[in-house]
Amino acid sequence: MKKADQLSEGMQKVVDLIDGIGAGMLTTPDSSGVLTSRPMMPLEVDANGSIWFFTKPSSDKQAPAGKVNLAFAEPSDGKYVSLSGGSTLIYDRNKIEELWSAAAKPWFPQGKEDPSLALLRVDVDDAEYWDSNSSRMVRMLAMAASAVSGKPVGMGENRTVHNPVAPSPAA
Q: How many residues does the chain have?
A: 171
Domains of the chain by residue range: 2-162
Report yes or no on whether pTM surpasses 0.85.
Answer: no
Q: Which CATH architecture has domain 2-162?
A: Roll (2.30)
- Do 37 and 46 contact (CB within 8 A), yes or no? no
What DSSP character marks residue 129?
E
Continuous segment of H or E residues that includes residue 64: none
Quick check: 3 pLDDT over 90?
yes
Phi/psi for 111 (5° steps) reads 80, -165
Task: List pLDDT tens digits, range 66-85.
Answer: 689 999 999 988 999 999 99
pLDDT for the residue 139: 44
The fraction of the chain above a pLDDT of 90, given in percent, is 62
Continuous segment of H or E residues that includes residue 17: helix 9-21
